[in-house]
Amino acid sequence: MKKSIKRLTIIFVAAIGLGAYEQFSNPFLFIRKEYTKITNSKQGYQPDYQQDSQTYKTDLIKVSQDKVKNASAAVALDSTKNKVVYSQNGDKKIKVASLAKLMTLYLAIQKAEKNNGWNQIVDTSNKGLKKLGDDVELGGFKFKDGHKYTVRDLYKAALVQSSNNAAIALGQWVAGSNVKFIKMMNQQAKSWNLDATFVSSSGLENSDLAKFGYAQVGGKDDANMISAKSIAIIADHVLSIYPKVIDDAKQVYEKVDGQTLFNENSLLPGRPFYDESLHVDGLKTGYTVAAGLCLVATAQQPGKDRVITVVVNDYAEFSDTAKLIKLVNNHDAALK
């Protein structure tokens, strides 16, 4: 959620420091599918909170000089072996901005997959959601009058461009209301024994949401508080139930409803910090003033385990993530 000017300024400064220059390519064209029936947002839906339950072990790589010094918290998870292999303040609950959208996406994907819901129409008529989409700093993907948006449309907007209004609308589609959905998020976190407290489906702090009518859970200054380890585990669950998320998360551009979605993950091909040897293929960026720059990255080198990394409040999010991925891959023997 990082939103445009502030976040791009920080990234631009970091890129200049490393001698990188942004290059833009032609937008990836998205072919829109047929709509199906309009969903009754009041219908009851109960997630399978135990779906894809796993046990994660800790088997840390022994390092000395390799600490990711710029991040308030950093974690690396060997997704293939379910092992946390690097942790720097990884168990500390912290603000994570749009990385929290991964839980929203997990629950939306689960319902879409179980209920044949990808092409269902989502109610996007709420004035607060439209206002949020139009906001210069917090918006981006607009809910246009008279336009209909499917679950897949909003999933792509929330994943690729980190649309806040799309994430909130998805949550309301899943649970029937914003408050009910946030309760689901916390129940899912409890089921997985995560260090996580959710107050927002978008990742925005309540102070940002108030003017749009969505500071409904917790106090006026509350925010999602989630450990970096918990974020890595949520990301692993998303990949487990829907491996195709990688195909979407690695798109630099996407088209939905005539709007171009821009992916701010600068480790992807054609971006300033791209390194072919890393094989990065996702997953989620995040930014708020309070949380700082955040990134969940996924990568898998040929013949090696899939790696999920998390850095939180890290002004060098991309270079530090690259460093973390290399660290894990170079110590692959220690993970066996």
CATH number, domain with residue 133: 3.40.710.10
pLDDT of residue 57: 93
* Residues 301-314 pLDDT 10s: 999 999 999 999 99
pLDDT of residue 17: 44
Note whether 323 and 302 are within 8 A (CB): no
From the candidates 72, 79, 87, 162, which is the catalytic residue? 162
Average pLDDT score, the chain: 88
From the candidates 79, 98, 200, 319, which is the catalytic residue? 98
* Residues 63-74 pLDDT 10s: 765 678 899 999
Assigned token pair, 180: 């009910």
pLDDT of residue 266: 98
pLDDT, greater one: 329 or 310: 310
* Residues 147-173 pLDDT 10s: 999 999 999 999 999 999 999 999 999
pLDDT of residue 307: 97
69 is catalytic: no
Sheet with 83-88, edge to edge strand ranges: 57-58, 83-88, 73-78, 307-312, 292-299, 280-288
Distances (CA, A) of 50 to 100, 201, 286: 19, 20, 27
Across the range 80-92, mean pLDDT stands at 95
d(CA 51, CA 335): 26
* Residues 134-148 pLDDT 10s: 999 999 999 999 999
Question: Is 284 assigned a ligand-binding role in the annotation?
Answer: yes
Query: What pTM value is reported for the model?
Result: 0.87
From the candidates 2, 95, 101, 229, which is the catalytic residue? 101
Q: How many domains does the chain have?
A: 1
Domain that holds residue 89: 4-335
